[in-house]
Amino acid sequence: MWCRTKTRSRKTDCYDLRGRRNAFLMCVKKNRPGSDRDVVLMNQWLSQCQFEYTSCIDPDKKELLEKLTSFRDGLNEIKDEISCCLVTLMSHGEKGSLKIRDDERVSLEEIFEMFNNKNCPALKEKPKIFIIQACRGERRDSGVETDDEPMDLDDISEKKRLPTFSDYFIIYPTQADHVALRHPRTGSVMIEAMTEIYQQHGNKWHIVDFFTKVNNKVVHTEFFLREEPIKVSLVMESTLTRFVYF
């Protein structure tokens, strides 16, 4: 799909996603009521977005890192075929880390580094998307009342160079140091909103605009934790250099 902009659309404005789209889906289900629903919704969404995906359920640290390494190495083996990569990680968490089986910690930065331009050359100038569904701390935001109704650098080398970390898009379900929300029946707030927005609008938006729409839904929905109001806002980090349309 070509970019949709106010000016004339140009092929070079978008990443070329005509090649294979590979995804990795990890979910810790233990002591996370609603996570089964998250897996179902993510499987549907990945299929709708034409991703081939590898699942990793309830791993320990060693298994997770081994499977991620194998997934990454597999991408490097099909360098000319792959067009993008998407990694979804759903678990308990804290600042900068995932908490997985047996309360082991896995650094998110370590995972991100596995797919950078040095370690995964197959993804140079190709989108690397990370969907993180995990708490980032213990803080809770009860929200505030409003009046609204509820709801030129000159070339110095002939050889092309890239930053080590480029073409990344990372979405978090909450602000730094804050909890994420998950319902025991309907699953995680962000995952549910993602699938609802996609069902309503399909792939009409660039991924940043898509998650902006998802965030709008999340921000303007009322949530309660132990009968106390609680609010969350998604956080996006991006080093993308083109538009991403699935």
Among 106, 128, 107, 108, CA closest to 117:
128
The two three-digit tokens of residue 27, written as one number: 């979910």
Our answer to whether residue 135 is catalytic in this structure is yes
- Give the other-Cβ count within 10 Å of 81's Cβ: 11
Distance CA 123, CA 186 (A): 34
The two three-digit tokens of residue 54, written as one number: 């590898």
Q: State the catalytic residue, choosing from 56, 84, 135, 178.
A: 135
Residue 77's identity, in one-letter code, is: E
Q: Scanning the structure block, which residue is given the tokens 């996609």? A: 198
The two three-digit tokens of residue 235, written as one number: 């956080």
Distance CA 89, CA 91 (A): 7
Our answer to whether residue 14 is catalytic in this structure is no
Distance CA 69, CA 175 (A): 28
Distance CA 116, CA 54 (A): 20
Q: Helical H runs in 34-172?
A: 35-48, 61-77, 108-114
Q: Scanning the structure block, which residue is given the tokens 């789209």? A: 21
- Are residues 32 and 188 in contact, defined by beta-carbon separation less than 8 angstroms? no
Q: State the catalytic residue, choosing from 92, 120, 178, 220.
A: 92
Active site residues: 92, 135
